């Protein structure tokens, strides 16, 4: 499958607003009054990604991710939703100090392009492995599939 580079319908990319003063900086990761309608975070986690490392690609069938990127990251997106007007399209976006909301069915990966460790905070709308970690994980992984069309070039 050949993907055409474009914006992906339903994906929201937004700057994180950073407030600086003599003590350092502060940024609001999310505000309830600033979230998309019907999006309710269920948990959060933070990850550290070493320079040159890629996480993904993978997709979720039901989960929406709300990523907050801190570092020199590139986000890769492929629309894998057959009913989407951007099905078969891809997007490649620089996301340092940005929010990226990625809906179900959009395959995603990110790479730390920098020379320093980068941090990603996520506020997904589903619990990982369900309540009490008693359900299957909502994830389709492509990173180890040599025949996957979802490639970082």
- CA 68 to each of CA 82, 112, 130: distance values in angstroms, whole numbers, following the listed order: 27, 13, 22
pLDDT of 33-90, one tens digit each? Answer: 989 989 999 999 999 999 999 999 999 999 999 999 999 999 999 999 999 999 999 9
pLDDT of 93-124, one tens digit each? Answer: 999 999 999 999 999 999 999 999 999 999 99
Give the percent of the chain with pLDDT over 70: 99
What are the sequence ranges of the domains in the chain?
Answer: 4-141
User: Considering the domain 4-141, what is its CATH architecture?
Assistant: Sandwich (2.60)
Distance CA 143, CA 128 (A): 19
Task: Kindly report whether the global pTM for this prediction surpasses the value 0.95.
Answer: no
């Amino acid at each position: 499958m050949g993907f055409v580079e474009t914006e992906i319908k339903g994906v929201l990319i937004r700057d994180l607003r950073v407030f600086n003063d003599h003590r350092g900086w502060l940024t609001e990761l999310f505000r309830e009054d600033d979230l998309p309608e019907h999006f309710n975070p269920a948990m959060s986690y933070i990850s550290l990604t070493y320079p040159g490392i890629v996480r993904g690609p993978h997709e979720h069938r039901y989960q929406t991710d709300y990523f907050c990127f801190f570092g020199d990251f590139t986000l890769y997106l492929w629309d894998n939703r057959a009913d989407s007007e951007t099905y078969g399209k891809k997007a490649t976006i620089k996301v340092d100090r940005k929010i990226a909301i990625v809906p179900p069915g959009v395959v995603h990966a990110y790479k730390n392009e920098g020379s320093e460790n980068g941090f990603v905070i996520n506020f997904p709308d589903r619990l990982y492995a369900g309540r009490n970690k008693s359900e299957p994980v909502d994830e389709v992984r492509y990173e180890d599939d040599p025949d996957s069309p979802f490639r970082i070039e």
